[in-house]
A and B are shown apart, each in its own frame.
Chain A
Amino acid sequence: MSETRTRIDALVGGNDVVLFMKGTALFPQCGFSSQAVAILDHLGVAFETVDVLQDPEIRQGIKDYSDWPTVPQLYVKGEFVGGSDIMTEMFQAGELQQLLDEKQVAKAV
């Protein structure tokens, strides 16, 4: 368990924007993950994804790590932002863009 935690620490700490999701950015395997990717694409930020379907330890571990029962989960600069509902609400309110600007996240190239 603590090994999983260390791996998640590295993923969250090593990427400005990281989305834990089902499937990949190109081939999401769940509607909620697909929506999360669409929002990040639309905002034009560079982001890393972690496919939890490929890794059972991360799949359970990220839920414990964030105290959050579902995937997708978004982290920005090491901070847990939320799942797809919160991402959608924040996006619609312009708050997600604002957060990414404040955190000076790199744009997608």
Chain B
Amino acid sequence: MQSLVQRSDVGEFRRRYRWMVVFVRCLFSVLIGRLVQLQLIEGDVHRAQARRNIIGEIPQATSRGVIRDAFGKVLAANRPSYNVYVVPGIIDMDSTWPKVSELMRLDPAEKKELEQRIVELRANERKRDQQILLKVDVDRDVVAALETHESALRGVEVSPVPVRYYPHGELAAHLVGYMREVDADTLAELEGRGYRSGDRLGAVGVERRWESYLRGQRGFQRVVRGIKRRHDKEEIEAKYLTEPRRMEPVPGRDISLTIDIDLVRSIERAMRGQLAGAVVVVDVRTGRLLAALSKPSFDPNVVSGGSGKQAVREAFRRLYSDPLKPTLDKTTSAAYPPGSTYKPFAALAALAGGIVTPKSEVDCRGGYEYGRRYFRCTGVHRHVDLHEAIVQSCNTYFYSMGEHIHIDQLAEVGMDFGFGVKTGIGINPESRGRMPTRSWYTRRYKGAFRGGFTLLAAIGQGATTVTVMQLALAYAALANGGTVYQPQVVRSIETSDGTIVQEFPPRVRRVLDVDPEQLGLIKDALTEVVTDRDGTAYEESLPGVDMAGKTGTAQVSHVTPKGVDPKRVWYFNRDHAWFAGYAPAKAPEIAFVVLIEHGGGGGKNAVPVAARVVRDWQRIKETRLTARASAQTKATSGGP
């Protein structure tokens, strides 16, 4: 009876059981549905993620290609920089630290500062076990000392980091370039080309332009993470690692340049007395760049980061605040008024256009009246013909010529010689300079075109600007009879074992149709600039130096550059001194341009530099010839 009563009590619950079972089944079905989704439908995605979790790729460092000069001298290579690291949580501050600081020869201030930092980090739970960089690029003997005592120095580690090394320092630094750490923007741009944050890449010059060749390719080694001490390591690796397990790094290509670093060094010596300027030497038969110097320069070793980030920041701060603009490549990136060095091209334009004949004479009385303006000459030259006008650099002759020639005729010949357009050297941003035409003036100056513009253009002033590189190639074209070359910096690309992968032949931009007689006349005049008693370069040239060329003294616009000490403004208002030419005068091999920024008169200041450069070039050439001859005799006599 009792049990019956209880049964009826249970009746209240009875209707719920079916629904409870349905509810239980539904929720468990949801779980199974999720299993279907995760394991069956998305299984491959999750397996891929699981594999990524356990498989790591250890990068295998590659080595950057070496840059050499035309004679195999190393201009940029790699060296290990030894950095000292410390783990704050491990190092013993009482016994190890004093020893480390002694071995590293830290001065007391430095020691105190670093000690403070370590102690601070020791207190930080999260950072105490992370390695911190104590000092970059320590000396070799310090490395040796630290390594000898390695066992006693727990928590201290010395590890080599490859850095770029430029054995010649400031020499040709603009051309060779330097390295910088890749920033976030560049990294995004270079996505997919294997760059990682912290990588360095070429910032300017050859280092930048040929980055893809120099860089090489990083290799990798796939590993299963965290199984170092496993006995069945091979088995596990075979199971999880996909082929290829290892990819060897590919070293970067080596690059041989056309420049001769010995010549660059002698140019640097010749320029020692000057504050700022640029020198370019090219081979007139190939357009190859033999030497380039931009002054002031900088040390690529410092700005490439070998001495640490702090040093880089400091160096750039100094470089960018210097009014002499050391980072600017003055051979190609800046354009200057060429002054009288432009006269040969103006003369050729006038001869070709029939404006003057070789016999036409002008009476120079120290200037030229045109319109309401008086255009000054450098002196009083009396009766001069074209030849004398070039030799003595008579402006009056060219003013008179400018009155009759159309400015576009001047520009046309100038552009034939490569002015007003980029030379296509390919490294560093290139200025195109300016060959002003009638339409350029119309666009630039709203108003009537004035004939005075042409007069100024005829003496390489006014709106005319050229780069040092353009001028050198144009003089090379004068010297070689009218072939305008594209300047060449890279001679060949080689593998790291020296096999030539690619060689670059000279490239002709244009062969000019110049009347040989007219050209001969100009070249005679250029020779006499140096050899004639009245020649503008006669006095400052060196005996025994066989060269031809044209001086130039270019007026600069009197604008005070920003941030310059008022006491030094006079310097920035001085004329640029030029000497452009080729050597030897009779059978030219090289063409050269010397520009001394704010150097004053070209004859007085640029010619001595050019003369020394040519003299050194001759000497270097002779030394090389005798060296080669003796090597050949040795080789022959040494034979069987």
A binds B: no
